[in-house]
Chain A
Amino acid sequence: MALSEYKQNMEQCARCSCCKFVAPPYVESYQYAIGCPSIGYGNFHAYSGGGKVITSLALTSGVIDYSEEMLKTVHACSMCGNCAVSCKFNYAEKVEPLEIIRELRCKIVEDGQSDPAHIQLINYLKREDNIFGGPKADRSAWAEGLGIKDALEEKAEVLLHVGCHYSYDETLWPIIRGAARLLQEAGVDFGIAKKEEICCGGRAYEMGYRQELASYSESLKGRVKEAGCKILLTCCSDCYGSFQQLYPIAGQGLADVEVLHISQYLERLTKEGKLSTGEKVPLRVTYHDPCHLGRLGEPSQPWHGTVKKVLNMMDVTDPPKDVSFGVGGVYDAPRSVLQGIPGVELVEMERIKEYSFCCGAGGGAKEAYPDFALKTALERIEEARSTGAEALVTSCPWCVRNFRDALEESGQQFPVYDLVELVLKGMGTVKKEGAQ
């Protein structure tokens, strides 16, 4: 749906400000009531989810035009989706702020108003099929020496989609190599697409590049089909969210394979007795729900239909829209894996699951406004510390990297782990053999 087609939704915004906070029933303290990192950064109403809805309406109504400041309000936003969850508590599908913001960004791109940092990422993507600009040929350099199958050459039950971040960020290689070692340890028949792997296209879409999502999703779906795998597994929350929410938007839903995130697969392997974490890891941890694994990982289908009036004027959708409230994300699997590691004690933050607070790295915000990403990450780390945890665990390369960068930049210390790293610790054997 083009932005202008959301006019009726935009007009439904009551400017109630719920989008700035976590969903109303879950405001449990003064300090952690805020749910939108963007309003926390920019303060003017335009930075909030509702503010961007107003901007969208003003833009499509010809009341305003582009300006540097307007674009900043749109791009200093990690597209984390908190606004949508909070708005829908009362308004269900009536406004749909996240869908509107996605469309606003697409319009910005179509109108040639992209953020320069985003243009650079897209240039990389076009050149090298990844948004980091690393050479295509090096896509599977991380896997050297691990003896992983080429899933496009040899049939494998599981296709591990690694994603751009793990492929090109060497600081994260221990995590992805560790994940591969865990799969090997559990005897999983898996492969990777090696240098044929491409970006999922999700980040491009969140930055407003609709066409890139269309083409990458089509190609990726083709590769999945070619591989003939049963399971499409990813360690990257961003890719997971793209497969579950964005591919259906692009008409490339992955209905023929089971899409799993590594946390879900580890949980399954543990339950099946194929993996066991016997080594004690005495650590009090708190778990950060990545947005794209949580509320943005909830499987959803785009809706095409009309709004009908019943009872003289009440709006109902025809056919009924399957409204995404965020509750169907992956929340239990990572927690269950963590709690399965002897010695690990899980303490929860206040903002969790569908009302989790973002790390600040998403939607191209980190590239366009690094100070936004830094501020947001530090706020979350502070919340993690407040639980008395000794470490923060998450399950997303973007979150891990952004937290670690923020800690380094601010000269603070607080251990940040990916879930896989803790499982590796719990499996002393793998650790001793070395995941590197």
Chain B
Amino acid sequence: MNIDQNAYDALQSLLGAENISVDPAVLMGYRFSGITFIESLVDRSAAFDPFGGPKPIAVVLPSCAEEVQEIVRICNRYRIHCKAQSTGYGGHAMPGVENVVMVDLRKMNRIVEIDEKNLYAVIEPYVTAHQLQSEVMKRGMNCHVITAGGNHSPLASATSFQGQGPTGFTTSCNQRNLLGAEWVSPTGDLHRIGSPGSDAGWSCGDGPGPDFRGLLRGFTGAAGGLGIFTRIGYKLYPWPAKEKLKKTGKLPVVGVETPENYKFHFAYWESWDEMTEAAYHIMESEVAYSTVRIPQDWWGWFLTPTNNEFYRRFQDGTLPITREHGMHWATLIAGRTKTDFEYKNKVFQKIVADTNGKLLELPAEDEAVLLLQMISPMYTQRLMRAKKSALGMGGPTLAQMESMSLLKKLYETDIDCMKEYVKPGGALMAAGPDGTWAWPSEPRKLWTESVHFLDETPESLAGATEYAGKVLGSIMKDRGSLAFDQRLMIGGVNDIFGPQLGNVQDWMRKIKNAFDPRNVSDHSTYISPEPPPPMPMPPVPEFK
């Protein structure tokens, strides 16, 4: 499909020839998606062709909000769709319908302001979390970095996705890190939301000024389906370390020296109950800066430069974290002062001792590497070294914003469901008995997701689907609803599962139609303007 010549001319005269392209090779950069797992949850067969989905008709590079407004107006005028992209990590950032102009926000990459006193930054879409983190750390602050790694856009994450990440104990998740926002509506109007709406700075999302956050992003975010965010106020958090982080090791096994008044602990338990109890105490006492559990064998991917090296050490048992350490919290303690540190460290160690936990002594160089991951995670990408099929990794989310009391049940279910697939010759990767990640978010909620690796073979695909069905079905049966897995609520999935979630799909549709009467924003990862024909809930597989 080609762009209407008049639309092209209008965009070119707005932006200049160097900021618009309709070249097929350039456009493929906005079609190819290495990771299509979100669409693949709906139609897994669609994911095999990296160029298979709808192709954009043009890509444009605006430099400011006014240009974004004008682009959206041109799209309205010529009845074409548009879709915003920040860094474009994942299939949801690619067009999901025909006749889409991709709005690549790469040139809108300024850190407009860092307010140290009020702990927030004002950022544009193409500022990455790494960039922001490096700047705010110089000023004694930190920002949230999602599990996917610091090369994503905090603005995209906070406005249009969920933004969970393992430093969530302190830095929450991005859906809650959004403060004031500047938004170009699907009709091309510019709105400032929250305190910037009344020229009162960017520090508050609730106002004074209109607060539309719930409408515009909800729980999951509209993923490009409802206008374009051009600037936000973004929450920052204190970072007590005074010195610059000193790197250790060499690429790709890089770590950091432990800053003064910091300590990394790897604590492990022999039962889920004790680990859960410890989590409650860690949350209650707020002694951790971050605390995370990932499948024990997988830590080895950070400690080794290649898969070959991982496999060698996995086989000969020389990786420091092994099966006996499955029930663990890798924890970072960060003290503001020596006294604060000593207090937190002591409390943490007491919690571990009181709950019958143990502390694992790691070789110093390994500890440094894991410490870096605790501060600026790159988990998902490093794990994809192990297996990134065209389908990416799969992952039923087991709980988001849930009670820590579910930890044991969710883990046991996952281990039970996974066991036949991770056997030698099974459908999933045989590295670890479970794929479950967890951390306490904002020391009050459990966030956990089971990640599995699958291959492109039909057997693996079938097995992975079956496994995901089993684990979700089993939890659903137990809990009576799918409310634990809101991460799935992207695009068409809303119409399948929405009825279980307070008919969220009806509300989303009302919002979409009210703000976007011409359906200009590509709705594919949000909600279609018209309800699709009724879709039955997929059958819940029988599982004992």
Contact = CB atoms under 8 A, between A and B. Distances in A.
A266 interface: no
A315 B50 CA distance: 20
A308 to B, nearest CB: 10
A14 interface: yes
A16 B385 CA distance: 12
B385 A92 contact: yes
Given A91-B385, A313-B453, A57 B50 contact: yes
A44 to B, nearest CB: 5
B500 interface: no
B381 A90 contact: yes
Interface in B10-57: 19, 21, 23-26, 28-30, 32-35, 50-51
A321 B306 contact: yes
A45 B88 contact: yes
Nearest to A65: B24
Interface residues of A, number: 62
B128 interface: yes
Nearest to A323: B306
Interface string B307-321: 110110010000000
Contacts of A413: none
B381 A26 contact: no
Main secondary structure of the interface of B (DSSP, over half): loop
A171 interface: no
Q: Which of A25, A67, A323, A325 is the most central at the interface, judged by chain B CB atoms within 10 Å of its CB? A: A25
B25 A16 contact: no
A11 B33 CA distance: 9
A151 to B, nearest CB: 37
Nearest to B23: A69
B514 interface: no
Given A94-B388, A312-B425, A313-B455, A89 B251 contact: yes
B150 A15 contact: no
B164 to A, nearest CB: 17
Contact of B35 (A15, A21, A69): A15
Contact of B151 (A12, A21, A309, A312): A21
A12 B29 contact: no
Interface stretch (B129-137, B227-235, B395-403, B434-442): B129-137
Given A16-B149, A27-B131, A30-B131, 4 more contacts: A23-B252, A33-B128, A69-B26, A89-B254
Pairs A-B, 4 closest by C-beta atoms:
A45-B29, A70-B25, A69-B23, A27-B130
Interface of B: 19, 21, 23-26, 28-30, 32-35, 50-51, 59, 61, 87-90, 104, 106-107, 111, 127-128, 130-132, 134-135, 148-151, 247, 250-252, 254, 305-308, 310-311, 314, 372, 376, 378, 381-382, 384-390, 392, 422, 424-431, 453-455, 460
12 contacts: A27-B128, A30-B127, A30-B132, A33-B128, A43-B107, A69-B25, A90-B385, A91-B385, A309-B455, A316-B311, A325-B252, A327-B250
Interface of A: 11-18, 20-21, 23-30, 33, 43-46, 48, 51, 54-55, 57-59, 61, 63-65, 67, 69-70, 73, 85, 88-94, 309-317, 320-321, 323, 325-327, 354
